[in-house]
Amino acid sequence: MGYGRYITIRLLNALLVLALVTLLVSVLFTKVAEEDIRSTIQEQINLKLRSNPELQRQLAADPAKLQEWYQREYNRLIRVYELDKPFWVRVVQRTKDTLTLNFGNTKSPIFGETAVSKIISKAIPRTVILFTTAQIFVIFIGLLLGVKAAQMSGSFLDRGVSIVAMVTSSIPMWWFGMISILIFSFKMGWFPSGGMTSMPPKEGFAYYLDVLYHMVLPVTTIVFVLFGGWAWTTRNIMIGTMQEDFIMAARAKGVPERKVIYGHALRASAPPIVTMTIFSLLGSIGGAIITESVFNWPGMGRLYWTALQQNETRLLMGVTFVTVALYLIAMIIADLAYGYLDPRVKVGASQQT
């Protein structure tokens, strides 16, 4: 009952945060979006006037009539787009639409008049394929090196992991990506310089092989820059755990070192490591704007950048909402994992009931 209450509170907190963030984003985006709508209204009025020569002749003779007609059309379209309602009503409506994934349609030439939710639903799997694959390699290599470095604390491997972590973590991902493209694509011609598939796209099983081929450089770049930090963090967590009394007691009892490391120390270190894993995997779905732009990868990061360039406020709001929602999901899953892996969470929750 105590653990159930703990999870319920976390879920309610996450939903409240999501609603408040969405409301705040709605306030910020509503003004910008409405300026675009007003510009669209003016374009529609001008288009209607240009496409009707008879109307032009009638209004050209009397500027007062032209002004009156223009104002009447403007007020009509203002009502059509519901801009005549109070600001707080419009904000609440936009918040409601966002929470129900009704982001509206895009208007830019790049996307055409397409539903924002449809555009985002296409971009998410592309980012998942790239960044989640890279994060799995990062986590695997980082855990392996971090545990070994902690087990051999003070050794050449331990010092090497610390040095590699400092070096790789200080390298900008976009810079390493550009160097990789320069060497392995332009100089050697081993891999494509960007994109997700060749043009024209291949069919059948060859299509998936082509996607994997295009993933080599970006995945290698992400793994190279991030694995050192993961290894160093895992190493520090493990060293802290291995100084606990229960580890010393296990060694004093003659428990094999491998079991001490993997059966006791790693298990006790699991909660923070699992939390890092969850945030890395789910957080990667948001994509990386610069990395995807460097490799011309059509995922969430590049979508965000394109939306900024095209001033697509509906798309910006949709991507922002999805990213925030994914991080909140990561927080909920991390809380569930903590409760499962750390009995102290359950005990603390039970004592509060």
Confidence of residue 220 (pLDDT cuts 50, 70, 90): very high
Asked, for residue 39, whether it belongs to a domain, the answer is: no
Residue, of 220 and 348, whose pLDDT is higher: 220
Asked, for residue 307, whether it belongs to a domain, the answer is: yes
Instruction: Specify the CATH number for the domain of residue 126.
Output: 1.10.3720.10
Residue 349 has pLDDT above 60, yes or no: no
> For all residues of the chain together, what is the average pLDDT?
81
Residue 345 has pLDDT above 70, yes or no: no
Structure confidence at residue 284 (pLDDT):
67
Asked, for residue 26, whether it belongs to a domain, the answer is: no
Structure confidence at residue 342 (pLDDT):
60
Confidence of residue 218 (pLDDT cuts 50, 70, 90): very high
Percentage above 90 pLDDT, the chain = 4
Give the lowest-confidence range in 18-22, 33-37, 148-152, 289-293.
33-37
Give the lowest-confidence range in 12-21, 43-52, 53-62, 262-271.
53-62
CA–CA separation, 332 and 278 (whole Å): 10
Q: Region 258-276: what's the mean pLDDT?
A: 79
Asked, for residue 269, whether it belongs to a domain, the answer is: yes
Asked, for residue 62, whether it belongs to a domain, the answer is: no
Please check whether residue 116 is in contact with residue 106, taking contact to mean a CB–CB distance below 8 angstroms: yes
Q: Region 59-69: what's the mean pLDDT?
A: 74
Q: Region 231-237: what's the mean pLDDT?
A: 88
CA–CA separation, 297 and 306 (whole Å): 12
Asked, for residue 332, whether it belongs to a domain, the answer is: no
Structure confidence at residue 287 (pLDDT):
58
Asked, for residue 82, whether it belongs to a domain, the answer is: no
Residue 249 has pLDDT above 50, yes or no: yes
Q: Region 332-348: what's the mean pLDDT?
A: 64
Residue 341 has pLDDT above 70, yes or no: no
3-state secondary structure the chain: CHHHHHHHHHHHHHHHHHHHHHHHHHHHHHHHHHHHHHHHHHHHHHHHHHCCHHHHHHHHCCHHHHHHHHHHHHHHHHHHCCCCCCHHHHHHHHHHHHHCCCCCECCCCCCCCCEHHHHHHHHHHHHHHHHHHHHHHHHHHHHHHHHHHHHCCCCHHHHHHHHHHHHHHCCCHHHHHHHHHHHHHHHCCCCCCCCCCCCCCCCCHHHHHHHHHHHHHHHHHHHHHHHHHHHHHHHHHHHHHHCCHHHHHHHHCCCCHHHHHHHHHHHHCHHHHHHHHHHHHHHHHHCCHHHHHHCCCCCHHHHHHHHHHHCCHHHHHHHHHHHHHHHHHHHHHHHHHHHHHCHHHHHHHHHHC
The answer for residues whose C-beta is within 8 angstroms of residue 60's C-beta and 6 or more apart is 66
Structure confidence at residue 3 (pLDDT):
64
The closest alpha carbon to 123, from 283, 312, 319, belongs to: 319
Domain that holds residue 236: 122-311
Confidence of residue 179 (pLDDT cuts 50, 70, 90): very high
Q: How many domains does the chain have?
A: 1
Structure confidence at residue 200 (pLDDT):
77
Asked, for residue 185, whether it belongs to a domain, the answer is: yes
Please check whether residue 250 is in contact with residue 223, taking contact to mean a CB–CB distance below 8 angstroms: no
Confidence of residue 219 (pLDDT cuts 50, 70, 90): very high
Instruction: Please state the pTM of the whole predicted model.
Output: 0.74
